[in-house]
Amino acid sequence: MIATALAIQDATKEAVMDNLTLYLAKDMYDNKDGMDTEQFAQAMFEYSAHLAALTATLVLEACLTKSQLNEMMDTVKEFEALGKDIASE
């Protein structure tokens, strides 16, 4: 459990320090005075969405083996297909 907690901590740190994450934060900070409220809100959303998605991806990779990750993705695809089948009926 300690190894998993450390892996999650490292994954989170990696996501925060990712080049694209840092670029988005820097760009938003540098241009904050030139943005109206809507543009700033959109930039915040893009930054937050990127950071959350990257963190989730890296944490999953830290917690699951490759075969477990593949199995999870197959299950997600099955549920998506099932949802489409239900929606088309």
Give the range of the structural domain holding residue 56, as residue numbers without chain letter: 2-88
CA–CA distance, 83 with 62 (Å, rounded to integer): 29
Q: Tell me the pTM.
A: 0.72
pLDDT in tens, the chain (89 residues): 788 889 999 999 999 999 999 999 999 999 999 999 999 999 999 999 999 999 999 998 888 888 988 898 899 999 998 888 888 87
For residue 4, what pLDDT is reported? 86
Instruction: Report the domain count for the chain.
Output: 1
Structural Rg of the chain based on CA atoms: 18
Distance of CA 84 to the CA centre of its chain: 24
